Chain A
């Protein structure tokens, strides 16, 4: 895949607030994401990381401003609209179509492109198989019978079938063995080279900060720290809260 040098802003979030009833899950969160960049949001369980991604994807009602591809998102933020304009989410639960083959899952990832008249699904699928050779071996197997790592690969491959401009990954390392995590993160880094912007939400702060360009720390619904990931990785507070134990191991 070719390298891109366009580093314009793709996503700008200002003062995003999300509430479930009266309980605020996110409070005035702001962040910026550029093309060809990996931005990570780290933080403890329950800090609102998944809520952030669901809100960006149009799955939750929000207050605040979201500017995607230069357009202010109005009230009519709909998942379908965002998918058509290149935003994709790989959710924490993967949300695969369990009783369908790997191949069908991938094809459905390109559903909106098919609907809008694109007929390059086979080529795109070959690119995905190049990235995840394991999926090629399993192409006729049912998604529900895959191992955890393979499911994550399929979820990512399915998202890539939409040829995204912005790929949002929710806890891609969750529940996976260390070797597989390494493999997944290597692929995420490789994806960055193809020019797609990546928003990576992770509890595994160490792995995330290693591949990210910029990082945010989300705690109890608010951004408590932000900075280039190298600086964050060296920050005392981050080391104590998120990297400390991992360093000793």
Chain B
């Protein structure tokens, strides 16, 4: 065993761990605010990566049709409510946001070959196509069930996951994609090569985590999300609608997922169903944090990344087994050490 391999593996582990950490944070956020165990979190990773890959190969990503389809359903659901309450003034913005914007996006993609655009713009377009799916999925699948039990929400979550996987196969095909690296820079660290892309992933993840921290600590909307997670009744009495909080945190989750996907697209080949396994590893991190603590979830996820990386070297056949077996001692430790607080359920 030499130091070079150890460093290389560690580098790999931290890169993956950073992505798992982002996903773990999104899972904790969604669960604490809406009580949804968000299985489809990983699908946003795949959708983000594959949408970018489609754009770069000059294809119109199928994501835009999903956006339009979901947009129409949301417009129908909310439009019917507005009509019933005779709030006609709110109809045009609703239609523009949910149907008009996806239509313009589709038209724009057909009119302009996206492959010639600069990379930053492609990334932006991919984000704009994937992120609105988050709040739309919340509106269609979860908002009508906001009061349901965690189990019912989990079942819906699995259904959404299966639907997104199927649609992913339809949109992006069965073969995987890998986008060109964002940067060709390369350094050397104690004899081991250090890719610029690796640094980019870690730095971008760190920046995003810092950004999230400021959002939750410094802005009233961020505080409103934390308040909803702490005390749902209290938050409602302050005029923080659960639907608003839900949409906001699903938007964040989708943005974190798509962003992670775009970050790792140049490092690993992403298939339509790759998101699930990636999301699941983020979930192990979130479980280490008890689905409640953000710092513990992030650290747990980085641990998962490191463990995975070393396991793939020493026992590559058992890589996944080792990573997911980690959850057993963690659960044992958590159930033995947890204070058993009486949960007051409404």
Contact = CB atoms under 8 A, between A and B. Distances in A.
B234 interface: yes
A88 B220 contact: no
B230 A83 contact: no
Interface string B209-237: 00000000000100110110011011111
Interface in B227-263: 227, 230-231, 233-241
A77 B239 CA distance: 13
Contacts of B227: 97, 100, 108
B231 A112 contact: no
How many interface residues does chain B have, given as a range? 10 to 19
A111 B220 CA distance: 7
Interface in A90-138: 91, 93, 95-100, 104, 107-109, 111-112, 114-115
B239 A97 contact: no
Interface in A63-109: 76, 78-80, 83-84, 88-89, 91, 93, 95-100, 104, 107-109
Contacts of A104: 223
A97 B237 contact: no
A95 B233 contact: yes
A198 interface: no
Interface of B is mostly: helix
Contacts of B233: 91, 93, 95
Contact of B226 (A84, A88, A97): A97
A11 interface: no
A108 B240 contact: yes
Contact of B237 (A95, A99, A115): A95
B331 to A, nearest CB: 24
Contacts of B238: 83, 108-109, 111-112, 158, 162
Contacts of A91: 233-234, 237
B184 interface: no
Contact of B234 (A57, A95, A107, A112): A95
B342 interface: no
A122 B238 CA distance: 17
B85 interface: yes
A222 B241 CA distance: 32
A145 to B, nearest CB: 14
Nearest to A159: B237
Contacts of B226: 97, 99-100
A93 B233 CA distance: 10
Q: Which of B220, B226, B234, B235 has the most CB of A within 10 A?
A: B234
A79 B230 contact: no
B223 to A, nearest CB: 6
A75 B224 CA distance: 27
Contacts of A114: 220
Given A100-B226, A108-B223, A111-B224, A88 B231 contact: no
B230 A111 contact: no
Given A97-B226, A100-B223, A108-B224, A80 B241 contact: yes
A115 B233 CA distance: 19
B237 A88 contact: yes
Given A95-B231, A97-B231, A83 B223 contact: no
Contacts of A83: 237-239
A150 B340 CA distance: 27
B289 to A, nearest CB: 15
A231 B112 CA distance: 80
A108 B157 CA distance: 30
B234 A79 contact: no
Nearest to B220: A114
Contacts of B236: 59, 79-80
Nearest to B81: A76
A108 B220 contact: yes
A96 B234 contact: yes
Q: Which of B227, B230, B236, B238 has the most CB of A within 10 A?
A: B238
Contacts of A78: 241
Interface in B93-112: none
Contacts of A111: 220, 224, 238-240
Contact of A79 (B223, B231, B239): B239
Contacts of A158: 238
Nearest to A109: B238
B239 A100 contact: no
29 contacts: A59-B236, A76-B85, A78-B241, A80-B239, A80-B241, A83-B237, A83-B239, A84-B239, A89-B237, A91-B233, A91-B234, A95-B231, A95-B233, A96-B234, A97-B230, A97-B234, A97-B235, A98-B231, A99-B230, A100-B227, A100-B230, A104-B223, A108-B223, A108-B224, A108-B227, A108-B235, A111-B239, A112-B240, A158-B238
Interface of B: 85, 220, 223-224, 226-227, 230-231, 233-241
Given A95-B233, A107-B223, 11 more contacts: A84-B239, A89-B237, A93-B233, A97-B227, A100-B223, A100-B226, A104-B223, A108-B227, A108-B240, A111-B238, A112-B240
- Which 5 residue pairs of A and B lie closest in terms of their CB atoms, listed nearest first? A112-B239, A95-B234, A83-B239, A80-B241, A97-B227
